[in-house]
Amino acid sequence: MAVLGYSRTRTVEPAMEPLTISEAKAHLRVTGSDDDTYIESLIVTAREELERQARIALINQTWVAKLDEWPPCRHIELRPAPLSSVTSITYLDETGTSQTLASSEYEVDTGRMPGVVHLAYNATWPTTRSTQNAITITYVAGYGEDADNVPRRAKHAMLLWIESHFCGRGMEGGSRFAWDTLIRGLQYGDYP
């Protein structure tokens, strides 16, 4: 499968974090509330770092991809993985008017890592204006709306990262190795 270059931006953050402060504090064996604000910030940072390194989205979040032109092949890979759904595909036609590609013109494969938009049978990509960002794909990526859908491996990696940064204020030795191992296993193509 060819990789198509495009820009992408997260437009809607996840509605929740994969870990609660209670889960993080239990892992850290922290009973008081003095460090709650710090631990909450570590949860967010751990998720962001895991998503960046593994190229995945844990809790559903909305992304917008912009392409200058249609790919020469019949598919477009969408990152981060996993793809939950495609909200819309719009493009600028030759006159510069925004058009919406009918959902009957494409199929969405959420079972692949990363997810793919396939051109439907006998369909062709419409002609676009030759300009930057002529095509806009709005989509949702993530394992679902609920933290229960997030792989345990990802949650464990986050806990290790949080522990390392809370207790040691940095990652060294065995914790770093464990983190790297867990992240490699979450990168698309390797999980599950």
Radius of gyration, CA atoms only, the chain: 20
Residue 105 to residue 184: CA distance in whole angstroms: 35
Of 122, 69, 125, 128, nearest in space to 93 by CA: 128
Claim to verify: residue 170 and residue 126 sit in the same structural domain: no
Assigned domain for 7 exists: no
Q: How many domains does the chain divide into?
A: 2
pLDDT digits (tens, 9 = 90+) for 10-21: 999 999 999 999
pLDDT digits (tens, 9 = 90+) for 163-178: 988 886 555 555 666 6
Under the phi-then-psi rule, with left for phi > 0, alpha for psi from -120 to 50, and beta for the rest, what region is 32?
A: beta
pLDDT digits (tens, 9 = 90+) for 101-126: 999 999 999 999 899 999 999 999 99
Claim to verify: residue 72 and residue 111 sit in the same structural domain: yes
Assigned domain for 5 exists: no
| Total-model pTM | 0.83
Assigned domain for 10 exists: no
Both tokens assigned to 125: 């990509």
Claim to verify: residue 101 and residue 159 sit in the same structural domain: no
Residue range of the domain that includes 40: 17-58+146-186
CATH number for position 37 = 1.10.3230
Assigned domain for 34 exists: yes
Average pLDDT over the chain reads 89
